[in-house]
Amino acid sequence: MAADALPPFPPGFLWGASTSAHQIEGAVDARGPSVWDVFEARPGVIRDGSTAAVACDSFHRHREDVALLAGLGMNAYRFSVSWPRADSPGGLDHYERLVDDLLAAGVRPVPTLFHWDLPASLDWLDRDTAARFAEYVERVAARLGDRVHTWITLNEPAEHTVLGHALGVHAPGRTLLYDALPVAHHQLLAHGLAVRALRAAGATDVGIAASHSPTWPLTGDEADLAAADHYDVLMNRAFSDPLLLGRYPEGLEQLMPGDVAADLEVVSERLDWYGVNYYAPSLVGAPTGEKSAYGTFDVPAGLPFALHEIEDRPRTAFGWPVVPEGLTQTLTGLRDRYGDRLPPVMITENGCSYPGLDDQERIAYLDSHLRALHRAIEEGVDVRGYFVWSLLDNYEWNEGYRQRFGLVHVDFDSPERTRTPKASYAWLRDALRAQR
């Protein structure tokens, strides 16, 4: 597959890779505990029984990672700041070193301020956590704001709400189902407060990384259409509508805590760009009275929808269907729904899990999704950047080390956490050279 076969992307396009602190940093003894550290200590919740105590050891080896980014020819790196580390003595020193090394390599630092590793002493069910988040953001901006210009407030508040608080398969492991909705609202409020804090610190390039994918009804029957719409509200519009329209979808506002109308004025603070994390569509039908699969875990019976497998598609090692046209559909759908309320878009995550160094499946995946992204640009969506997930094989949350999303292989059995670029690394490097 020729790297120069990709169509040309717009001038000034950001090409980057994404990671998150808990998944790569390790060095848990140099920070306070997060909800994930507590969760990982519970028996049986992590599929391979591991923890992220060392992960990729990027806390100590970040210069290797910066060199890998530079070798790819990337001009941006999306990483996350660990809130528990930032709260620890000297914790922000690590991020100053990382930012300085990225800038020296000609790579734009794009920090995410919350990527699920909440300090263990806090709780998103508590409204005050949003205020604590804004204070933390102020401290980070005060230290890094003279060198960092592009910021991401939150990563995937929908997944953190649903997986961590409604279904219990992620930290903190709650099974609240619809009673988890306050977690969504408090995260959105935290986002808005963070935008205000960043603006006060002089930031002019602020976005969010929200998960989005099309919801496909199982059939055209009324019951399936209604179930798909309900699911789409919960996973997509319950987050994007408040952010971009300043209101919740009909029926949700009365389920949220506090003075919702006043909060929504904060939530809908203007964004400079809107980040989209895309992996695959969801196929949704009417409830069957039985549990249904959501990736590698089960969704309980009794919900007003059921999830179904998308057939006749290649699957990643995670079992996710490969549907590149879903990325085009996602982006054009956002444009059609939000019109001029949608700011420029960046793809803040897109990637796949496959084993091995000669990862031809990942090359095919990236090629097809980049072409799908280009089609969205041709159809008028203002897309400014693309961040592949992920630079490194990492600690994949409740999967432990079983899934490999990286362009770079990490030997988790070696004390050095040896890094070896895969075939996809070389393919993407050549593709980016051809874009220049």
| Residues noted as catalytic | 156, 349
Could you give the 3-state DSSP secondary structure of residue 164?
helix
Any idea how long the chain is?
A: 436
Note if the bond before 292 is cis, omega within 30 degrees: no
Closest CA to 315 of 342, 348, 279: 279
Q: Which two tokens stand for residue 427?
A: 């393919």
Which H or E run includes 434? helix 423-435
Alpha helices in 73-180 (DSSP H): 83-86, 91-104, 128-144, 157-161
- CB atoms < 10 A from the CB of 38, how many? 13
At position 417, the amino acid (one-letter code) is: R
CB of 14 within 8 A of CB of 346? yes
Could you give the 3-state DSSP secondary structure of residue 61?
helix
Phi, psi (degrees; rounded to nearest 5) at 182: -60, -30
- Given the structure tokens 């009909």, which residue do they identify? 250
- Given the structure tokens 């306050």, which residue do they identify? 182
Distances (CA, A) of 73 to 69, 102, 110, 407, 433: 7, 12, 16, 13, 7
Q: Determine the Cα–Cα distance for residues 426 and 433; give it in Å rounded to an integer.
A: 11
